Amino acid sequence: MKNYVFVLLIIGVATLVGCKSVHKITDKDNSSAVNNRKKAQRKVQFIDGIEITPGSVVKSKHKPATTKTKAEEIAELREIPTSSKIDIEKVKQLQLKYAIILDTYIENISNISLFNKIDEWWGVNYCMGGTTKDCVDCSGFTGNMMRDVYRINLPRTASEQYTASDRVDREHLKEGDLIFFKTKRGYINHVGIYLHNNKFVHASTSNGVMISDLDEHYWQGKYAGGGRVVN
């Protein structure tokens, strides 16, 4: 009987010790899980003021490198001096106007400086030897345009400008190239600036500064070649 009671006591002690051990193991596992959750919820700080929280979008606290206005960005893309104030609506109207005149895509009217300068000179009367907006001749006009738009200084007369430029075949003409004509006596005596789609701007004797087409009957028989001047 005593032996039976002793055996029961040993079994009871062993059971209590086993439960406590299991409880300690469980406590340790729960503590580890809680710590992991806490770590996951903490912010992780990186250098340069950039931080991230798990599950969130990364955002930089840095200010943009530049503070350009929309007008200044457009001006830079289109090579307009950013020092001048730009009316974006005026630029759009200018592009639309000359896209219609040249019968070309509006994307081709990208050199706003060139077309703005043409707009300034549009309709100026022709006079032999003229170089101003009071009146101008063909080479006086091309000289002003190439200087103001492309920073290229040309000789004074059409024949001298022809000599100073490199020959360009008609099919390879590009915006800004010079085009020359022999309107009388078989020598170079007229010059204009090529634009797009066979169109060119020039100071004509009849209508002053205007845009004409190389395919017009009058100009077809007088075309003498294209010229390109590299500064």
Distance between CA atoms of 86 and 77, rounded to whole angstroms? Answer: 13
Distance between CA atoms of 202 and 16, rounded to whole angstroms? Answer: 109
Using alpha carbons, list the distances in angstroms from residue 185 to 87, 159, 163, 181.
47, 13, 18, 11
19, 135, 190, 217: which one is catalytic? Answer: 190
Collapsed DSSP state (helix, strand, coil) of residue 78? coil
Collapsed DSSP state (helix, strand, coil) of residue 19? helix
Token pair 């340790």: residue: 28
217 annotated active-site: no
62, 127, 202, 217: which one is catalytic? Answer: 202
23, 138, 196, 217: which one is catalytic? Answer: 138
Distance between CA atoms of 162 and 180, rounded to whole angstroms? Answer: 7
**166-168 and 178-181 as β-strands: parallel, antiparallel, unpaired?**
unpaired
Beta strands in the chain (DSSP E): 44-45, 50-52, 59-60, 166-168, 178-181, 190-194, 199-204, 208-213, 223-228
Q: With DSSP H G I counted as helix, E B as strand and the rest as coil, what are the percentages for the chain, rounded to 5?
A: 45, 15, 35
127 annotated active-site: no
19 annotated active-site: no
Q: Which residues are catalytically annotated?
A: 138, 190, 202
